[in-house]
Chain A
Amino acid sequence: MHIYNPCLHCFTPPHLLERIIQAGSPEQKIRAFKVLTTSAAMRGRRQSMFRIRSPFYVTAEPGKKRFVYDADNGSDLPGKVVRREGDAPAGDPAADEAYEGAGATYDLFMKYYNRDSVDGKGMELNSTVHYQQGYDNAFWNGEQMVYGDGDEDLPQEERLFNRFTIAEDVIAHELTHGITQYEAKLAYWEQSGALNESFSDVFGSLVKQWRLNQTASQADWLIGEGIFTSNVKGKAIRSMKEPGTAYDDPLMGKDPQPAHMKDYLNTSADNGGVHINSGIPNRAFYLTAIEIGGFAWEKAGKIWYICLRDKLREKSGFRDAANLTWAVAGNLYGKNSNEQKAVQNGWEGVGIKITGSQGFWGRLINCFRFRCLVCL
């Protein structure tokens, strides 16, 4: 069945379009969604707009469902489908990397954390490659992943960025933003935003380590290795092991990430430094994983995942994350277990003392922090 039908643009009733959104092919869903939202907007039917759910949110049977689209260097999303679940490689490196990276991320979360896709209910994993021209970025737009080609439009000697699908941890990073959106919903500014970024880096790195079968001590803990061209003096975008050391280049400047709370950067830029101060919780995770030893996705990753899924909230800060990961480690592996001590040492290594989530002093400190009128 082909969705393209001129009738859709004029006479197809909304209930039929909604039916297509539910049950049609990816292209059919998108076309129907566009028609429905456009016509609803034209009629000023705000209620209807709220009721319509994007085709990307349609969840059906569990399982991996990947779709890769090509924006053809334009800005319209999602673009034209170039590879569906189970298809042979498209022959386009960006499209095939997006497909494989989304698959690896799905597999890690399913195998080790029993999570079925971004929403936990088998949501389709949609990626668009070749977004705009000279677009040196990748992002999660609330519904899908989007990847640019870097500086493909510049002469070779002037290019600073390669295509963003080239690093699998970038793909896992973007998908994890989707998981955060469905779980902790960490607000994207200041400490909660830096945690949002950090959790994406954590699982980005874990997907890479899992694919390479590396233990915590074998891993490089770099984020975005390969994104910079050889024209840049840098090994990656960020380093979880040594924040602030990933690059130092005359054009790009120096990696600004702090590795400790004493160097926390108060800034209004970058939504309060979400990509800067994430170096602190990134290193806390690294220290934890190294102390626990073995494969980082098995224990440290599980602690962080459960914390993201069940404990953290929209306005959680670094200390909340420290206390809550510590509490989760105690629940999973026992009070005063090596794993719980490793979490404590990890956070203390970046200058954040565990105050506990239940103890008197922890509660009192929180009362001071949040100016709790009942207690003070």
Chain B
Amino acid sequence: MSGMLIIDFERSGGFAGIPVKATFSDQVLNEDELNDLRHLIENSDFLLLKNSDNPDRLSPDQFLYKISVVTTVYSHSVSLYEQEITPGLRPLIRLLLDIARRSKH
């Protein structure tokens, strides 16, 4: 797999209220990270996810995630509350957080 991949990732909310924001692209990610991300995006049915439209679903201090993915063939953005994260999406978020945390250091 190859081609352009740009991901905007943001996690807000949480007890601390300290946001995590990062933008990744195929220009800066290494080959393993790129492969893992492409694989997880595909396996998480990311393109089928829709924005959360019910703010009442946010429990106090839980996280809100915003993820945008742009490739040469599609572009998709989604905002989800923490309890809406499906088991299939969790590994993708986990990897995005890991890369974001590593990129801070």
Contact = CB atoms under 8 A, between A and B. Distances in A.
Interface of A: 75, 133-134, 136-142, 151, 154, 158, 161, 164, 170, 173-174, 177, 180, 187-189, 196-197, 200, 224, 227, 237, 251-253, 256, 269-271, 274-276
- Name the interface size band of chain B: 20 to 34
A139 B12 contact: no
Interface of B: 12-19, 55-56, 58-64, 82-83, 87, 90, 94, 97-98, 101, 104-105
Contacts of B15: 137-139, 164, 170, 173-174, 224, 237, 275
Contacts of B60: 139-140, 174, 177, 180, 188, 196-197, 200
Given A140-B60, A200-B60, 13 more contacts: A134-B98, A138-B15, A139-B14, A139-B62, A139-B82, A174-B61, A177-B60, A227-B16, A237-B15, A269-B12, A270-B19, A274-B17, A276-B17
Nearest to B87: A75
B60 to A, nearest CB: 4
A227 B15 CA distance: 11
20 contacts: A75-B87, A134-B97, A136-B16, A137-B16, A137-B62, A137-B63, A138-B15, A138-B61, A139-B14, A139-B61, A140-B61, A173-B15, A188-B55, A188-B58, A196-B60, A200-B60, A237-B15, A237-B18, A270-B19, A274-B13
Contacts of A164: 15
B14 A158 contact: no
Of the listed residues B16, B55, B63, the one surrounded by the most CB atoms of chain A closer than 10 A to its CB is B16
Nearest to B16: A237
Nearest to A189: B55
B14 A136 contact: yes
Contacts of A271: 13, 55, 58, 64
Contacts of A180: 60
A210 to B, nearest CB: 21
Of the listed residues B19, B56, B61, the one surrounded by the most CB atoms of chain A closer than 10 A to its CB is B61
B38 to A, nearest CB: 22
A358 B7 CA distance: 54
B59 A139 contact: yes
A173 B101 CA distance: 26
A136 to B, nearest CB: 7
A174 B101 CA distance: 26
Contacts of A173: 15
Contacts of A75: 87, 90
